[in-house]
Amino acid sequence: MVKLIKSINLGLAFLLELCMLVALGYWGFHTGQSTDARIALGLGAPVLAAIFWSLFMAPKAVRPVSTPLHLVFVVLIFGMAALALASAGRPALAWIFAVVSILNQVLLRVWKQ
């Protein structure tokens, strides 16, 4: 049973990474003053986050960082996604995303996943 819960937590971690990208895109498409700015922010923010993630954060990152720095980056990027949702007019969704992300990260660390 514990193995199943750990597997679900890993799946949730991946789902939260995708939600982070969607949150950044949502913010971008709702933030810009012009259509061009909205498109640039809506596509650019998640693309930059995905590039950053693949370079430093992914399990097979090009340049993996140390565990403490990894945790700092996780807090920053998921925090930015939560703030992006809040500033785009979705504060309740931002809180849900933040709380679930924190719980997921705590379990990942406790279970050394």
Q: What is the number of structural domains in the chain?
A: 1
pLDDT digits (tens, 9 = 90+) for 15-42: 999 999 999 999 999 998 999 999 999 9
pLDDT digits (tens, 9 = 90+) for 90-102: 999 999 999 999 9
Q: What is the pTM of this model?
A: 0.94
Residue-range definition of the domain harbouring residue 85: 2-110
Whole-number Å distance between alpha carbons of 62 and 60: 7
Lookup: tokens for 71:
């945790």
Q: Are 27 and 88 in contact (CB under 8 A)?
A: yes
